[in-house]
Amino acid sequence: MIKTSDEKYLRAIYHLSEDKNNKVSLSELAYYLDLKPPTVLERVHVLQSEKWITYKKTDGIHLTKTGEKEALNVVRKHRIWETFLHKICKFSWSEVHELAEQLQNVNSEKLIDRIYDLSGTPKFDPHGDPIPDKSGKLPVSERRPLLNSVDGCKCVVLGVNEDSNEFLNYLTDLKIGLNEKLIVEKVFVFDGSMKIKYRNNESVILSPKVAEKIQVTCIKPNCPCKN
Amino acid sequence: MIKTSDEKYLRAIYHLSEDKNNKVSLSELAYYLDLKPPTVLERVHVLQSEKWITYKKTDGIHLTKTGEKEALNVVRKHRIWETFLHKICKFSWSEVHELAEQLQNVNSEKLIDRIYDLSGTPKFDPHGDPIPDKSGKLPVSERRPLLNSVDGCKCVVLGVNEDSNEFLNYLTDLKIGLNEKLIVEKVFVFDGSMKIKYRNNESVILSPKVAEKIQVTCIKPNCPCKN
DNA sequence: TACTAAAATTAGGTATGCCTAACAATTAAT
DNA sequence: ATTAATTGTTAGGCATACCTAATTTTAGTA
Ligand SMILES: [Mn+2]
Ligand SMILES: [Mn+2]
Ligand SMILES: [Mn+2]
Ligand SMILES: [Mn+2]
């Protein structure tokens, strides 16, 4: 049986190898977990001996098949809790992550099933991230960065690429939330920032850094936006 | 700020000094927590230095005013989670305790408030135990042991005095649950066991050991049952 | 009161999960 | 190719939360 403290590592490794899909280095993992490299090295050796991961200095850290399955299970629990907290308990999308970190440790598949049902058997969490099914399969989504939009594109927010409170609160201030419809009025070729219209003709200019992290899908068919 | 591991101790001490309202001994506490006395002694010293409890070998362990307040807060969290699990997540009353033990460690007053509201701001948990309010005040209940009933008494189940799965599953097998109406057909003076009628004229003979642990209140006013 | 059983304490030990400081190896830059 | 910076590794230590075995204290009983 896997331990809670292992799950933390597996989820971290999963995220790091997902984002930047190249090898995960020791120091990277240490930084992500807010721990020091010797600490992490120690645990990595253990995780390796338990066959959850492989590690070679040159090759970095990789999840094994079993490790990935376990990681996806933690991701599943995390995202189901986030969804439950948002939909049923009415927490904002910037509050759910931290709480879910605690709740995901609770050890009861039956409880996960129940809150999953209570939340309406969702496919995506409040940040738009896909919820793996029990076998670890991820639902596919059309999401692409808002940054790839062309002038005139009408699209809808499916999620975000970053969980940080600073970012989420910024969006909340702008009143940009999940399922918000956005019209890309103009893309400024200079730096890629874009003027967006939404709600009752509110409008805002988003920096490319922000636009890159907002995930959308076009509403009109055959929209010429890049993916 | 109090630590999760301290809360476990405070709740245990609270229960032990509640049940048998005399002093709580070290070995008693150790047994309850399923730990060895030296382990517990160590922690007791710490808890004492942190002013949650007092301890003198002769006098046993006592919660301080602050300690009791903290203990009541854990009890509150525990019972709210139990209620939520039962009412909203449809867990049976024998399943909720163990899960609540895990969930009560989650650190968010806001979350407790939300699930409390979701559960319909209950005053009692699925075992009939009172849920303290935020200031630590307990709602009063009319509960008395079924054992104190006289022949012919009509009463309703308000709770139980024991959380063990063996006991709860026994009641579940008999289909005796919360709010079940019971008629005491006959009390056998020999040993105090009693014949009970309930539901569609089902009937059963309960041993005094069981009857003592079922908490009820009389339905008819001026019922001559003892309290 | 003296003896015995139970409870409390002390001493010393283990596993886990974290750390710093010092050193080695690798990779990037001049 | 040499140097500098980054990354990984080793060694040794600390705190927490447990344990057993041995001893002391207290309380119950004869
Ligand atoms: Mn999250
Ligand atoms: Mn999420
Ligand atoms: Mn309970
Ligand atoms: Mn209860």
Mutate to test the interface with A, among B81, B85, B86, B89 (most CBs of A within 10 A): B89
Tens digit of pLDDT for each residue in B131-144?
999 999 999 998 99
Please report which confidence band the pLDDT of residue B172 belongs to, taking 50, 70 and 90 as the band edges: very high
Residues B74 and B117 sit within 8 Å (Cβ to Cβ): no
Q: What is the pLDDT of residue B50?
A: 95
Q: Which nucleotide is nearest to A37 (CA to C1')?
A: D8
The residue from A45, A63, A81 where one domain ends is A63
Q: What is the pLDDT of residue A19?
A: 73
Strand ranges in chain A using DSSP code E only, listed in sequence order? 53-56, 60-63, 144-145, 154-160, 181-187, 194-198, 202-206, 214-218
Q: What is the pLDDT of residue A21?
A: 67
Nearest to A10 by CA among A86, A66, A84: A66
Chain A residues in contact with B90 (beta carbon < 8 A): 114
Question: Locate tokens 């005053």: which residue?
Answer: B123
Q: What is the pLDDT of residue A8?
A: 96
Q: Provide the number of structural domains found in chain A.
A: 2
On whether residue B91 sits in a domain, the answer given is no
Q: What is the pLDDT of residue B227?
A: 77
- Residues 6+ away with beta carbon under 8 Å from A72: A14, A132, A136, A138
Question: Locate tokens 């559960």: which residue?
Answer: B119
Nearest to A182 by CA among A225, A138, A125, A135: A225
Query: What pTM was computed for the model?
Result: 0.91
Chain B residues in contact with A110 (beta carbon < 8 A): 91
Q: Determine the distance separating the centroid of ligand 2 and the alpha carbon of A77, expressed in angstroms.
A: 11
Query: What whole-number distance in Å separates Cα of residue B213 and Cα of residue B3?
Result: 33
Query: What whole-number distance in Å separates Cα of residue A10 and Cα of residue A21?
Result: 15
- Average pLDDT, whole number, for chain A? 95
Query: What whole-number distance in Å separates Cα of residue B177 and Cα of residue B207?
Result: 17
Q: What is the pLDDT of residue B20?
A: 67
Worst-scoring range by mean pLDDT, A53-57, A133-137, A194-198, B19-23? B19-23
Taking the CA of residue A6 and the C1' sugar atom of nucleotide C13, their distance in angstroms comes to 26
Strand ranges in B34-149 using DSSP code E only, listed in sequence order? 53-56, 60-63, 144-145
Mutate to test the interface with A, among B78, B92, B104, B106 (most CBs of A within 10 A): B106
Please report which confidence band the pLDDT of residue B200 belongs to, taking 50, 70 and 90 as the band edges: confident
Please report which confidence band the pLDDT of residue B222 belongs to, taking 50, 70 and 90 as the band edges: confident
Is A54's pLDDT higher than 80? Answer: yes
Please report which confidence band the pLDDT of residue B174 belongs to, taking 50, 70 and 90 as the band edges: very high
Tens digit of pLDDT for each residue in A188-212?
999 999 999 999 889 999 999 999 9
The residue from A63, A85, A114 where one domain ends is A63
In this structure, what CATH number is given to the domain that contains residue B14?
A: 1.10.10.10
Comparing CB atoms, the residue among A89, A105, A114 nearest residue B115 is A89
Tens digit of pLDDT for each residue in A106-119?
999 999 999 999 99
Beta-strand relationship, B154-160 and B181-187 = antiparallel
On whether residue A21 sits in a domain, the answer given is yes
Is A89's pLDDT higher than 70? Answer: yes
Residues A156 and A179 sit within 8 Å (Cβ to Cβ): yes
Chain A residues in contact with B102 (beta carbon < 8 A): 105-108
Query: What whole-number distance in Å separates Cα of residue B221 and Cα of residue A93?
Result: 52
Q: What is the mean pLDDT of residues A35-49?
A: 97
Q: What is the mean pLDDT of residues A11-27?
A: 89
Q: Determine the distance separating the centroid of ligand 2 and the alpha carbon of A78, expressed in angstroms.
A: 7
Please report which confidence band the pLDDT of residue A1 belongs to, taking 50, 70 and 90 as the band edges: confident
On whether residue B157 sits in a domain, the answer given is yes
Q: What is the mean pLDDT of residues B29-52?
A: 97
Q: What is the pLDDT of residue A172?
A: 94
Residues in chain A: 227
Q: What is the pLDDT of residue B99?
A: 96
Cα–Cα distances in Å, from B79 out to A79, B131, B171? 26, 6, 20
On whether residue A209 sits in a domain, the answer given is yes
Please report which confidence band the pLDDT of residue B110 belongs to, taking 50, 70 and 90 as the band edges: very high
The residue from A44, A63, A82 where one domain ends is A63
Boundaries of domain holding A156: 144-218
The upper half-sphere exposure of residue A10, i.e. CA atoms within 13 Å in the direction of its Cβ, equals 28
In this structure, what CATH number is given to the domain that contains residue A186?
A: 2.30.30.90
On whether residue A168 sits in a domain, the answer given is yes
On whether residue A121 sits in a domain, the answer given is no
Query: What whole-number distance in Å separates Cα of residue B48 and Cα of residue B63?
Result: 9
Those nucleotides of strand D lying less than 7 Å from any protein Cβ are 7-12, 16-21, 25-27
Q: Which nucleotide is nearest to B9 (CA to C1')?
A: D17
- Residues 6+ away with beta carbon under 8 Å from A109: none
**CB < 7 Å to strand C — which of 34-63 in chain A?**
34-36, 38-39, 42-43, 46, 57-58
Worst-scoring range by mean pLDDT, A16-20, A33-37, B52-56, B100-104? A16-20
| Of A110 and B21, more confident | A110
Q: What is the mean pLDDT of residues A138-156?
A: 95
Percent of chain B whose predicted confidence (pLDDT) is above 70: 99
Strand ranges in A59-201 using DSSP code E only, listed in sequence order? 60-63, 144-145, 154-160, 181-187, 194-198
Q: What is the pLDDT of residue B226?
A: 84
Q: What is the pLDDT of residue A103?
A: 96
On whether residue B44 sits in a domain, the answer given is yes
On whether residue B185 sits in a domain, the answer given is yes
Is B163's pLDDT higher than 90? Answer: no
